[in-house]
Amino acid sequence: MTPELQLDRQLCFALYAASRSMTQAYQPLLGELGLTYPQYLVLLVLWEQDGASVKQLGERLLLDSGTLTPLLKRLEAAGLLRRRRASDDERRVEVWLSDTGKALEEKAAAIPQAMRCRYGAEGREAESALLRQTLQQLTMLLQGKPG
Amino acid sequence: MTPELQLDRQLCFALYAASRSMTQAYQPLLGELGLTYPQYLVLLVLWEQDGASVKQLGERLLLDSGTLTPLLKRLEAAGLLRRRRASDDERRVEVWLSDTGKALEEKAAAIPQAMRCRYGAEGREAESALLRQTLQQLTMLLQGKPG
DNA sequence: GGAAATTAAATTGTACACAATTAAATATGC
DNA sequence: GCATATTTAATTGTGTACAATTTAATTTCC
């Protein structure tokens, strides 16, 4: 066995396992709101930036239209948002929150604190902020954007 | 906008983005071997532990049979491994590498170094080992296993 | 030793991811 | 001003993820 290929030495697998574990930990909380984890991410962007285009959502979340289009259709079917061709550029599709979608932000506001508790980050704000920044830098590197 | 809900402050999104970026960065290297990233992870386990059961693979990779069964069938169809009911317990399915599957380890041996170069980890072994350990601890926490 | 509980995979159904292609709208260059 | 290139979404097809159910084999417990 090549030592370099040991699973437990792979940063990539540590990332993959942590990311999926985190998503799983969110699931019970998001389930109460009727959301999946990627749907929650889309709403996080829209609560900051209502009316964002599919392209803008994709840039923030690093997702393409092949993922976003069906996801947005499901959120539209759930009544949380509406999709609209922009009048000044018919190629663009703008995504606007409905009142229900806007109102959901209040319920979601409790989630971050609940999760910090869940993964033992309470009282370790500095440590988890550092981890977050390290991951953000790594993402920029992997995306080929000079950091 | 609730400040706590800002996308760029979410550890969960930093993880999600980094994990997918890492998988994307592996893709060109794995593509040459005809593998997807999860398939590569399965092979990492088998190169360490040939003959592992589906359950054992699932425990190492945190995946269930719903994911593994079709993935293993594809690797079997590609001629890299064979699945066999264990004779001492017919519930268990053992996964054994073919000669082709075993031989692939040599080609894969170049991947870790190529990737370290790719994400700027050269000469920063300590830093990336620390990140890996932090992520492994976080995963254990999220999986509810006392760390 | 046989019913009930447990375990291991497979199956079913839904929802991402993402590469590759298509289609429509806008921008560009000559 | 018009052909060409670019941009933006949608579509198509493959491969995960994962919850929930099913099936078959083994344990457990009386």
Report in angstroms the alpha-carbon separations of A32 from A27, A106, A122.
Answer: 9, 13, 23
Number of neighbours of residue A6 by Cβ within 10 angstroms: 15
* C-alpha–C-alpha distance, residues B97 and B102, integer Å: 6
- Give me the residue from B14, B132, B142 closest to A11, CB to CB: B132
Q: Do B21 and A142 touch (CB under 8 A)?
A: yes
Is the CB of B24 less than 8 angstroms away from the CB of A142? yes
Residues of A in Cβ contact (< 8 Å) with B47: 1-2, 5
Per CATH, the number for B10-105 is: 1.10.10.10
B53 C-beta less than 7 Å away from strand C: yes
Nucleotide nearest to B38 (CA to C1'): D16
In chain A, which segments carry CATH 1.10.10.10? 35-104
Q: Which of B108, B109, B131 lies at the smallest CB-CB distance from A11? A: B131
Reported as a single tens digit per residue, the pLDDT across A29-83 is 999 999 999 999 999 999 999 999 999 999 999 999 999 999 999 999 999 999 9
* pLDDT given at position B147: 60
Q: State the DSSP string of B30-93.
A: HHHTT--HHHHHHHHHHHHSTT-BHHHHHHHHT--HHHHHHHHHHHHHTTSEEEEE-SS-TT-E
> Chain B partners of A7 at a C-beta cutoff of 8 Å?
41, 44-45, 48, 60-61
* Distance, CA of B77 to CA of B102 (rounded, Å): 15
What is the C-alpha to C-alpha distance for residues B62 and B143, in angstroms, rounded to an integer?
9
B36 touches strand D (CB under 7 A): yes
B1/A41 Cβ within 8 A = no
pLDDT digits (tens, 9 = 90+) for A74-129: 999 999 999 999 999 999 999 999 999 999 999 999 999 999 998 888 889 999 99
A141 with B131: Cβ contact below 8 A = no
pLDDT of residue A146: 66
pLDDT of residue B36: 98
Which of strand D's nucleotides are less than 7 A from any protein C-beta? 7-13, 15-20, 24-27
pLDDT means per 10 residues, chain B with 147 residues, are 93 98 98 98 98 98 98 98 97 98 98 92 91 97 83
C19 C1' closest Cα residue? A66
The distance of A46 to chain B (nearest Cα, Å) reads 10
- Chain A residue numbers with beta carbons less than 8 Å from the beta carbon of B141 are 119-120
Candidate from B60, B105, B131 with C-beta closest to A7: B60
Q: What confidence score (pLDDT) does residue B105 get?
A: 98
The pLDDT score that the predictor gives to residue B118 is 86
Instruction: Write out the CATH class of domain A35-104.
Output: mainly alpha
